[in-house]
């Protein structure tokens, strides 16, 4: 025997029927906090600030030092005879 039951209700009605709490105020609070953080940090992802970060002379020096160390051309890592 096979029985199919089809229930037409909204998610809110289903939560209420099963006695689950209404989490929409918590969801709204989390989304508001997320939006505040995103708008506060929007300057960090602007093209101007990204270019400044990428082309900072200190970053270029660090990459150069890293490549020298990886290639084994550093002053302290060479073989002695």
Model confidence pLDDT, tens digit, residues 30-59: 999 999 998 888 777 777 777 777 777 777
Q: Which pLDDT score is estimated for 76?
A: 54
- 4-15: average pLDDT: 92
CA dihedral 27, 28, 34, 40 (to 10 degrees): -170
Ordered by start, the domain boundaries in the chain are 11-40, 44-71
Q: Cβ distance 77 to 69 under 8 Å?
A: yes
Model confidence, pTM: 0.43
Three state DSSP letters for the chain? CCCCCCCCCCHHHHHHHHCCCCCHHHHHHHHHHHHHHHHHCHHHHCHHHHHHHHCCHHHHHHHHHHHHHHHCCCCCCCCCC
């Amino acid at each position: 025997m096979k029985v199919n039951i089809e229930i037409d209700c909204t998610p809110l009605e289903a939560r209420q029927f099963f006695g689950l709490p209404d989490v929409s105020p918590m969801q709204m609070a989390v989304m508001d906090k997320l939006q505040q953080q995103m708008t506060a940090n929007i300057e960090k992802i602007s093209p101007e600030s990204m270019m400044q970060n990428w082309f900072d002379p200190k970053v270029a020096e660090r990459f150069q030092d890293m490549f020298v160390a990886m290639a084994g051309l550093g002053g302290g890592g060479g073989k002695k005879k």
